[in-house]
A and B are shown apart, each in its own frame.
Chain A
Amino acid sequence: MKKYGLFMVAALVLLALAGFAIAAEKIWDKGTPTVFVGFGAGGGTDTAVRPLIVLMQQHLGETINVVNMPGAASAVAAEHVMGLDKDGYSMFATGSGCFGGFLITETSTQGVPWNWYGFHHIQGPAAFVVNPEKSGINTVEDAIKALNEEKASVGVSSLGAGIHGFVEAFAKAAGVEKKINYVTSGGDGKTCVSVMAGEIEIGSISFSAGVDYVRAGQLKVLFLNRRDPFVVSEAVTIPPITDLGDAYKNIPDLAETWPVMIPRDAPKPIVDKLQEAFIWACEQPEMKEFAEKMGYQVITRYGEEADRVLDYQYAAYAWVLFDAGMADISPEKFGIPRPENWDWSKEKAKYGY
C-alpha cells in the first residue's frame, strides 16, 4: 500500500509541476482576455475584426473572448475598456473613422487614438447603397437631387462613425445645401436591410457589409470611396468616387480600417506577443482569401505607421463632423489640426515618439 501511496504523491507532484509550467507559459494567466467590439454582432466592424482575432488566438494558442458592445459609434465600448484595468486583458475594436468624433461630440474622452496601440489588418472603402425599385434613386444625380429636395434620408450605422463623416464629405463636394436627415440603424447590415425594405432611401455603409446584397441584385452601389473601380461580377462594376468629377477628388482617401486596439499602457510582453501574432495572422492564406471575397485589402499596419495614418484620419473626420454641425465643440479646442495643416512630425509627440 505504501508503494502505491508514494507513487500517487509523485504523480500529484508531477501534475502540479506540469500545471505550473503551463500556467507560466500562458500570456494571460489570470483569465481570458476580451476584445470589446464597438458595433453589433454581424455588422461591418464585427465581421472584419473576428477573423483576425481568431487567427491571432490560433497563433497564441489561447482563447480571446469577443464581446459586442454597440453604442455611439463605439464610444461606449472605448470608454468601457479605458475604464477597466490596463492589464492587457481588455482590448477594443472599432472602425478607424470613429475616433474623430470622440472628443468633439463629447462621447469619449479616453478613447483618443494615442491612448491605444493598434493593429490594422485590412482596409476597405465606404459605399453609398440604394434600392432603385423602392426609392427611385438610380444614379448619383438622383441621390443629390433627393437630398436637396429633402426627399431622402441617409441611413448610417451610428452617428459619428467613419461612414457618417463620409456622407458629410460627399455632400460638401456635391453641393448639397440642405441639412441631411440621418437615421441610425445600429449596424451596416441593418442599414442594408432598411434600404432594401424601402424604409430609408440611401445607405452609407462599409462596402463589405453590403457586398452580398449587391451580388444578389437586391441593392445597388452608387460609388465606392476608393481610387479605382471595383469589379463585383462580370455584369457589375462599381465606379470609384473620383470618377464623379473634380470636386470629389478632394475627398480624402480615408479607407477605413478595423483595428484591434490595446491600451498603450498595457504590459509590454502582452503587446509584443499580440504584435507577433498579428503579423503572423496577416500572412495566412485565410486572411487573403477573406479580404478578397469581401472587397478588402490586407495592409498589416502597426506601430508608428499605424499611428500616423490613424492620426490623420482622426483629424480629417473630426473636422468633417464639425463642419457638418454634428459637434458643438471645435476640434481646434483640442488642438486637432485641419487635414491640410496636419503634420506628423508635430503630432507624434503625443504618441510618445
Chain B
Amino acid sequence: MEYLQHIANMFVAMAQDPWIIALIFGGSIAGLVVGVIPGLTATMALALLINISYGMSLMHAVAFLLSVYVGATSGGLCSAIMINIPGTPAAAATSLDGFPLAKKGMGGLAIGTGFIASFIGTVFSILIMLTLTPVLYLIAIKFGHWEMFLLALFGIMICGTLSTDKDPIKGWIVGFLGFALSMVGMEEIYAYPRFAFGSLQLKGGIPLIATLIGVFGISEVLSVLQEPVPYKIEGKIGRVIPPFNIFKKLIPSTLRSGIIGVIIGAIPGAGEDVGAWLSYDMGKRRSKDGDKFGTGILEGVICPEVANNAVIGGAMIPLLTLAVPGSPPSAMFLAAMNLHGVRPGPMLNIENPAFLPMVGVALMFASLAMVFWGLLLAKPMVGMLKIKREILLPLVVPLTVIGAYSGGIRIFDVYLMLFAGVIGYVLRQMDYPLAPLVLGLILGPLADVSFRQALMQSRGMLLPLLQRPIGLVLMVAVVWLIWTGIVRARAYYRKMDTLDASG
C-alpha cells in the first residue's frame, strides 16, 4: 500500500511541476532528433547530457534523462522506415518491414504504428518493472559468464537467420564476420592487441557507430544513387494513426514482444538490439502472417518496436537492484544517478524508497511525450519521404560523417565508415544481410570475453559449464536455430532448383 502511495505521490508531484513537463517534452524531442539521425545514439546523447542534468534537482534530472532515453530509442524507427538507414542499431530490425511499407506508400502509417508500438512497449515494461522487479532481478543474477556467451551466440544466429529471407547461412557468415571485426584491437582481459598489425588506430578497435552508419548509410546511398532512376515514393500521406482494430488483432504479438523485451532488458549485457531481433524472430515464427514478414506488414514493425522499447523498463531492473546496467544507455543513466548521490543497488529500496516509483512515473510521462511528438511529426516526416532521393541521400552523407567522427573524435573513424560502406555495398549486392554485421560487432566482445571468463571460472574445463540449467536451455535453443536454419537453406535451394528447371 505504501508503495502505491509513493507512486501516486510521485505522479502528482510530477504532473504539477511545469518545469518537469517542459523538461520531459524538451528531452523527448531532443532524443527523437538524436534517434532519427544515423550515428547519434541514445548512449551518446545521455553521455553528453549527464553533465547538464547535474545542475538540476534529482527529480528533474531523472525526468529529463529518461525522456531523452525513450525518445532516442524510439526515434531510430523514422530513418529506418523512411530511408532504410536505421537511426540506431536497435532499429535495424524495424527497417525489414518498415521500409517496404514506406515503398508501398504506407510510410505514415508505419511511422505512426511504430511510435504507438514503442509507447505500448515502454508502458508495458514500466508496469512490469514496478510490480515484478524483486522477481526479475533474480534472472539477472542467474546469468553468469557462460550464459552471457550463449546469449550472444543465440542473438547473432537469430539475427543472421532473420535478416535474409533466403539462405540463413549467409546471415550467419555475416554475423560471424561481425564477430571477427570486433576482435580487432585490444581485448578486455589481457589487453593484448589483436589483428592491429602495429597500428595505433586499429589498437583502439573498430568503432561500432562508424561501422553502423557506413554499412547501412553509405551503402544505401551508393546502391540507390547508382540506379539510372532511383526509386520514388508516390501516393498520398494518408493516415498516420493506425485504426484500433489493427492493434486488437495483434495483442498476442504485442504482449509477446513486450515480455521478450523486458526479459532481454533485465539480462545485463544484451540490449535493445537483441530484444528487437528476438521479438521479430518470435513474431515471424508464431504469427499467422509469419511468411509475410519482410514484405511490409505492420506486425513486422510492431514486434521489434514494442520490444526495443520494452527493454528500457527491463534494463532498469538490474540497474536499480544490482547497480548493473542492462544496456549501454542505461549505464549512462546509472552514472548520472551516482552523480546525484543516488546509489542504485541493494540498499536503494531502504535508503530511497521513492526512487523506483520516480523512475516509473518519469518513464510513463516520457513515453507519453514521445508518442505525442512522434504522431505530431509523423506527417511532416512522411512529407520528407517525397523529397527526391537524389537530394535526400547526398544530404545524409555529411550527417554520417558527423556521426562517425563524433563517437571517437578521430578522422580515422570516418575512413573506417567509408570502408564499412563499401563492404556493406558489396555484401548487399550479393544477397548478404547487413544487420548481423553490426550486431556481431556489438555482441562479439561479449561473446569472446564471456566465453573465456566462463572457462576461467571452470578452470578450463567444459563439463561444469554444460551442467548449468539456463545454459542448457540456451544451448538447445542455439542447436535448434542451426537445425531450422539448415532446413530452411535446403528448402530455399530446392525451390530455386525447381524454378531453374521450370524456367
Contacts and interface: CB of A to CB of B under 8 A. Distances in A.
Nearest to A110: B200
Contacts of B197: none
B435 interface: no
Contacts, number: 138
A41 B204 contact: no
A65 B48 contact: yes
Contacts of A66: 47, 50-51, 335
B339 A71 contact: no
A40 B453 CA distance: 17
B165 interface: no
B51 A64 contact: yes
B204 to A, nearest CB: 6
Interface residues of B, number: 48
B187 A42 contact: no
B335 A50 contact: yes
A190 interface: yes
Contacts of A79: 186, 200, 203-204
Contacts of A76: 185-186, 188, 191, 204
Given A41-B332, A216-B346, A72 B188 contact: yes
A50 B338 contact: yes
A243 B47 CA distance: 43
B197 to A, nearest CB: 15
A47 B188 contact: no
A63 interface: yes
B200 A83 contact: yes
Interface string B469-488: 00000000000000000000
Contacts of A108: 191
A197 B410 CA distance: 41
A162 to B, nearest CB: 15
B334 A72 contact: no
Interface stretch (A8-16, A177-185, A297-305): A177-185
Given A42-B324, A183-B453, A213-B346, A105 B51 contact: no
Given A54-B339, A184-B456, A215-B347, A197 B324 contact: no
B339 A41 contact: no
Nearest to B205: A76
Contacts of B48: 65
A344 interface: no
B343 A212 contact: yes
B249 interface: no
B461 to A, nearest CB: 11
A67 interface: yes
B76 interface: no
Nearest to A72: B191
Nearest to A326: B190
Interface string B322-343: 1111000001101100110101
Contacts of A199: 144-145, 457
A57 interface: yes
Nearest to B337: A42
Interface in A52-105: 54, 57-58, 63-68, 70-73, 75-76, 79-80, 83-84, 105
Contact of A68 (B51, B140, B203, B331): B331
Contact of A159 (B190, B332, B457, B459): B190
B345 A70 contact: no
A186 B324 CA distance: 11
Contact of B51 (A54, A183, A213): A54
Contacts of B188: 70-72, 76, 158, 184, 186
A208 to B, nearest CB: 10
B204 A67 contact: no
Contacts of B457: 153, 183, 199-200
Interface string B376-416: 00000000000000000000000000000000011000000
A194 B324 CA distance: 11
Given A63-B52, A65-B47, A197-B144, A185 B350 contact: no
Given A64-B51, A72-B191, A76-B191, A153 B456 contact: yes
A256 interface: no
Interface string A170-204: 00000000000111111001100110110110000
B14 interface: no
Contacts of A51: 338-339
- Report, nearest first, the 8 A-B pairs whose CB atoms are least far apart: A72-B191, A107-B191, A216-B346, A41-B331, A212-B347, A212-B345, A75-B191, A197-B141
11 contacts: A42-B323, A66-B51, A76-B204, A79-B186, A83-B203, A153-B457, A159-B189, A186-B188, A196-B141, A212-B323, A212-B347
Given A31-B409, A66-B50, A107-B192, 16 more contacts: A40-B331, A41-B331, A46-B335, A63-B52, A65-B51, A66-B51, A70-B188, A72-B187, A72-B192, A76-B185, A76-B191, A84-B410, A107-B191, A153-B459, A193-B141, A216-B350
